[in-house]
């Protein structure tokens, strides 16, 4: 199995699209078959893919005697394809291989995408660590991935990001992610953010507050929902549309 995957992986970056596509389909078929057989079979495929993802050339010297440090065996195109394939079969064991690709600007986004689809705690930890990487667009993707997990660790990381991140867009995306999770601590963070938001971002933060109140209401937590609606309805900074939405919901309960 590992030998076959190694041969196919070597063709994933081929300049001829038909060759690269055929190699991808070959590995994809093996991944699907493994998925039907269980975790052990999946790990066999996943381990082989992880080995290809992290494979490095040996240190060597060029004709002039200059040392050439190790570099990835496979091109960025091939490694992106491998990251995508790991989304089918990757588990906790393969997280380090994917996390390592986050350091490479050419593969980081597909590595994040694959980690997003990896349900292990180790993948959650890797995504939380990725919040410290550079690039607001990339970190916004990480925020969205963590928001979908709704685990205790992920939520705590989102709260910290919402309050402390230096980039406004990243903070607001974290606030919007927290607004999907009806939790008392999230309510404190979201309302704090709404009441201190920059004018350009007021609408987004108050929309998040209303959405969080709706989530509380659907969960039967009317006390928490009412508290948010009242704060929005009486806020001087809240946009008119969000005030009316809050007032309407309060009216429905009176």
Q: Residue 48 — pLDDT band, cuts 50, 70, 90?
A: very high
The Cα–Cα gap between 222 and 236 comes to 23
DSSP state string for 52-73: HHH-BPPPEE-TTS-EE---BS
CA separation (Å) from 100 to 8, 147, 187?
A: 22, 22, 35
The Cα–Cα gap between 209 and 100 comes to 36
- CB under 8 Å to 115, separation ≥6 — which residues? 95, 98, 99, 123, 126, 127, 130, 145
CA 107-86-28 angle, 5° bins:
115
Residue 87: CB atoms within 10 Å: 16
Residue 202: pLDDT above 80? yes
Look at the alpha carbons of 63, 58, 68, 19 in this order and tell me if their dihedral is positive or negative: positive
Name the residue with tokens 């055929």: 22
Look at the alpha carbons of 152, 158, 162, 164 in this order and tell me if their dihedral is positive or negative: positive
DSSP conformational letter for 150 = -
Terminal Cα distance for the chain, rounded = 66
The Cα–Cα gap between 59 and 254 comes to 74
pLDDT for residue 253 = 66
Q: pLDDT digits over 162-188, tens only?
A: 999 999 999 999 999 999 999 999 999
pLDDT for residue 254 = 58
pLDDT mean over 105-129: 97
- CB under 8 Å to 29, separation ≥6 — which residues? none
Q: pLDDT digits over 3-33, tens only?
A: 899 999 999 999 999 999 999 999 999 999 9
Nearest CA among 132, 73, 74, 78 for reference residue 102: 132
DSSP conformational letter for 236 = S
Q: pLDDT digits over 203-234, tens only?
A: 999 999 999 999 999 999 999 999 999 999 99
Name the residue with tokens 């689809």: 117
For 240, the enclosing helix (H) or strand (E) is: helix 240-252
The Cα–Cα gap between 89 and 95 comes to 11
Q: Residue 81 — pLDDT band, cuts 50, 70, 90?
A: very high
Residue 197: pLDDT above 90? no
The Cα–Cα gap between 103 and 93 comes to 19
């Amino acid at each position: 199995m590992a030998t076959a995957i190694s041969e196919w992986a070597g063709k994933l970056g081929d300049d001829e699209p038909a060759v690269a596509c055929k190699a991808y389909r070959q590995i994809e078929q093996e991944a699907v078959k493994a998925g039907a057989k269980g975790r052990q079979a999946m790990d066999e495929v996943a381990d082989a893919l992880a080995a290809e993802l992290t494979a490095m050339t040996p240190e060597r010297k060029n004709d002039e005697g200059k040392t050439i440090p190790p570099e990835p065996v496979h091109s960025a195109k091939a490694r992106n394809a491998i990251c995508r394939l790991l989304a089918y079969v990757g588990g906790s064991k393969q997280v380090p291989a994917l996390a390592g690709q986050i350091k490479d600007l050419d593969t980081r986004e597909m590595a994040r995408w694959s980690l997003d689809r990896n349900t292990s705690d180790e993948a959650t930890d890797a995504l939380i660590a990725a919040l410290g990487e550079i690039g607001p667009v990339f970190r916004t993707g990480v925020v969205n991935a963590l928001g979908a997990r709704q685990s205790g660790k992920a939520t705590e990381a989102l709260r910290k990001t919402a309050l402390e991140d230096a980039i406004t867009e990243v903070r607001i995306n974290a606030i919007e992610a927290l607004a999907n999770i009806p939790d008392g601590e999230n309510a404190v963070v979201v309302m704090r953010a709404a009441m201190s938001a920059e004018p350009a971002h007021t609408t987004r933060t108050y929309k998040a507050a209303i959405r969080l109140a709706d989530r509380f209401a659907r969960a039967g937590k009317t006390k928490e929902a009412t508290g948010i609606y009242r704060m929005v309805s009486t806020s001087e900074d809240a946009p008119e549309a969000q005030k009316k939405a809050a007032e309407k919901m309060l009216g429905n309960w009176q």
